[in-house]
Structure 1
Amino acid sequence: MCGRFACYTPFAQLAALMRLPVAPRLPEQEPPPRYNVAPGTWITSLAMDGEGIPSFTSMWWGYRPHWAQAGAPEPINATVEKVATSRYFRGAFARHRCLVPADGWYEWLPGETGKQPYFLCREDRAPLWLAAIFSERDDGRPGLAILTEPARGCASEVHARMPLALDDGSLEPWLDPALTDRDVMRQTVRHLPAGAFEAWPVSTRVNRAGEEGRDLMQAVQAPG
C-alpha cells in the first residue's frame, strides 16, 4: 500500500521537470515542504482543469464519490488489478486521473520487535509521480486514491505492494481525459523500472502522523 509519503521539492521545480506540451499551472500559494504526509489530509496533486490545462490543485487524500452511500468506504489506495473494473473506481479511472508528486514514501516491515519503517525513493533522488484517481466528494471537492501495484525490486523486501510510480513518458497520457481505452492505456502507460528505487530504515517517529521534519528520512540502524 501507500500510506505515508514525503513531498518537499518546490512546485515550480516539479513543473519544470515535467515533459508536458503545456506547462502546468502552479498552486496559487506554494505548499510547504512535507516529510510525513498522512491520509485524511489535503494534498497537492496534478490534474487537467476545465480548460484542459494541467494544474496543481488541492485534493483530499481519501476517495469517496459523491454518489456513494453514507458510510461507504473511503480508501486511500486503489489496486491496479481492479481499478479499471471495480464499480467504485472505474468511472474515475476512465475520466478523472491525476498525479501525486512525491519525493519518496514510507513502508513498514514487520519484525520481532515490531514494525520497522523504511523510506523508499529513487536512487537518483528525482521526484516521483504517483498515479492516482479522483472523484468529487459529497462536499463538492475532489478526493483521491493512489494506485498501488505488486512491489518490485528493493520495495518487495519491505512490503508486498508499492505505489504506481510512472516514467516521464507516461505522464501526458495518464492525464489525458480523452484516453479511456484500457488496452491502449496498458500499452502507453509504464511504471519506473524495478531497479530505480532505494530503501533504508528510518526512525519510528514517522509512525506518528503529526511528526514532521527532514530528519524523518535519515537512515537509522535497523533492529537485529
Structure 2
Amino acid sequence: MCGRYAASRGAEDLAQVFGVEKWEPEEALAPDWNVAPTKEVLVVLDRPLKDAPDPRPVRQLRVLKWGLVPSWAKDPAGAARMINARSETVHEKPSFRRPFAQRRCIVPADGYYEWVTAHDERQLEVEGKKKRARKQPYFVLPADGSVFAMAGIYEFWRDRTLPDDHPLAWWATCSVITAEAETGPLAAAPQEGPASLADIHPRMPLMLTPDRWDAWLDPARTDPDELRDLLAPPPGGLMRAYPVSTAVSNVRNNGPELLDELAAPEEATLF
C-alpha cells in the first residue's frame, strides 16, 4: 500500500520535469516530508482549461486532496479509506472505474515510507519486561534520485449543502494506484534488513517511467484494455530502500531529517 510519502520538490521544479503548461504559483505547496491521507498534494494531469475556447487538454499542476471521494458519494467521510486503488481491480470497482477511464494523474513524490515488523520481535521479554514489536520504517525511492511518479486517478465531488458560488462547493480528490511489490533485488539494499521491496511490504505504489507519462495522462485514451496495459510494473532494479527514524511514524513530525538514512534499524523500546 501507500499510506505515507515525501514530496519536497517545488512546483517550478515539477513543472519543468513533467512539461507542465499551466500552474498557479499561489497554489504551490510547501515541501512536505510526511504526506498523510487527506492532506493537500500536488498532482500532474492533462485537462482542458476551464472556460477556455480551445478544448485541447493542457498539462497542469493542480492541488488535490489525497483520498478519493466518488462523485456519487453522499458525503466525503470515507476519503481517508480511499487513498489507494489496486491495479488489478481499478478498472472494475465502482469508486474507481470512471476516474480510471477518464481522469488519470501522476502524483509526484521523492519516495514513500513503509513499515516492517521484525520477525523475531513479536512479543519477546527482556529481563521480565515485554519488548514492543519493532516497526521499522523504510524510505523507498528511485535509485537515481529522480522524481518518483506514482500512478493516480482523480475525481470531483459536489457538496450539495453549499451554494454554487461557495469556494468549497467542489472537492477535487485523488488516489494512488498500487501494485504487487517487486520481488527482485533492490538497486542498493541496506546492509541489514529487506533485500527486496516485497520483503518490506507486498504492495507498492505503481511507478510510471517517463515513457508512459504521456499515454497515462492522455484523457482521450478510454479503452479499458489499452489502459490496463499501462499498469504493467516497471523494470526491476530501479529502486532502493533504507531505514529511517521512527519519528516519521508520528504525522506531526515533518522535516528533511525524516529522510536521513540510518546505518542500521533502530533498537526496539521497552514498556
What is the distance in 2 between the residues matched to 1:41 and 1:53?
Answer: 25
Name the counterpart of 2:53: none
C-alpha RMSD of matched pairs (Å):
1.8
Name the counterpart of 1:170: 212
Contact 2:110 2:147 in 1 (8 A): yes
Q: Secondary structure at the match of 1:26?
A: coil
Letter in 1 for 2:142: R
**Paired residue for 1:59, among 43, 61, 64?**
64
Mark the structure with the bigger radius of gyration. 2
Name the counterpart of 2:265: 222
* 1:190 positional shift: 4.8
Name the counterpart of 1:86: 93
- How does the TM-score come out when normalised to structure 1? 0.91
Letter in 1 for 2:10: P
Instruction: Kindly report which structure 2 residues correspond to 1:64-213, keeping only aligned pairs within 5 A, or say none.
Output: 64-70=69-75, 73-74=78-79, 75-111=82-118, 112=121, 113-139=133-159, 140-152=170-182, 153=184, 154-188=196-230, 190-213=232-255
Quickly say closer, same or farther: Cα 1:32–1:156, change in 2 above 3 A: same
Render the CA deviation track for 1:87-122: whole Å, top value 9, x for unaligned: 121001000111100011000111223211100001
Once superposed, which parts of structure 1, at least 4 consecutive aligned residues long, lie more than 6 Å away? none
- How does the TM-score come out when normalised to structure 2? 0.76
Q: What 5-or-longer segments of structure 1 have no aligned partner?
A: none
* 1:172 positional shift: 0.7
Name the counterpart of 1:32: 30
What is the distance in 1 between the residues matched to 2:42 and 2:75?
Answer: 26
What is the distance in 1 between the residues matched to 2:231 and 2:87?
Answer: 12
* 1:10 positional shift: 2.3
Number of matched pairs: 221
What is the distance in 2 between the residues matched to 1:156 and 1:60?
Answer: 28
Alignment pair present for 1:49 and 2:52: no
Letter in 2 for 1:198: R
Quickly say closer, same or farther: Cα 1:79–1:189, change in 2 above 3 A: closer
Letter in 2 for 1:211: N
Which segment drifts farther, 83-92 or 182-191?
A: 182-191
